[in-house]
Structure 1
């Protein structure tokens, strides 16, 4: 849609969302911690933007998350171990970022994980 900028903290007021897709825009900066309030989220697709910093640990607190797509951003460092706490996670796409480390050793093996994308 060609929208961009940073995500304002008050976006956390949309806590009823179950599907959040802002792929292929020009968002940048860090993901605000207020997004951790989205306890109903099943799908997160923040792919093809320019988010940076660390992959937020609060993703591990989203109890219904099935699909997490963060591809084509500027996330750095390693994947937080809390991602392994998402017992409903089926698909994790972290490709085309600047991540380091050994993902499966860091997050473990989420029981329902069927797809893991880590391309560069």
Structure 2
């Protein structure tokens, strides 16, 4: 499977950690749902993923540290969800990133200095 789009539904419960087994996944869209709990760390196994859309998904908490492995990301939307903690420094290592949306969350603290590495960004 290359694309898994579950957006704009009324899905609830936690996101299955087994999605992390879809090693060829290029795009994961879970936006506009009623999921709960935290993002499964296993999603960090999706090292080929270029698009991750999780805006208004319902999940919260901190972005798992395993997401540091997602170095192929070009687009990540994580807005309007109860994500919290500090914005992860490792996002600055996603140097292929073109579009990043983080508005409408509960992040705190400074914007990481590593964001200066995001020289390909066209939208923040």
Normalising by structure 2, report the TM-score.
0.86
Gaps spanning 5+ residues in structure 1: where? none
- Determine the structure 2 residue equivalent to 1:92: 100
Give the root-mean-square deviation of aligned CA atoms.
1.4
Contact 2:92 2:117 in 1 (8 A): yes
Normalising by structure 1, report the TM-score.
0.88
Contact 1:58 1:82 in 2 (8 A): no
Larger fraction in strand: 1
* Deviation of 1:24 (Å): 0.5
**Take 2:66 and 2:119, find their aligned partners in 1: how far apart are those partners?**
19
2:83 is paired with a residue whose SS is strand
**Take 2:12 and 2:22, find their aligned partners in 1: how far apart are those partners?**
18
Contact 1:57 1:83 in 2 (8 A): no
Aligned length: 116
**Take 2:110 and 2:53, find their aligned partners in 1: how far apart are those partners?**
23
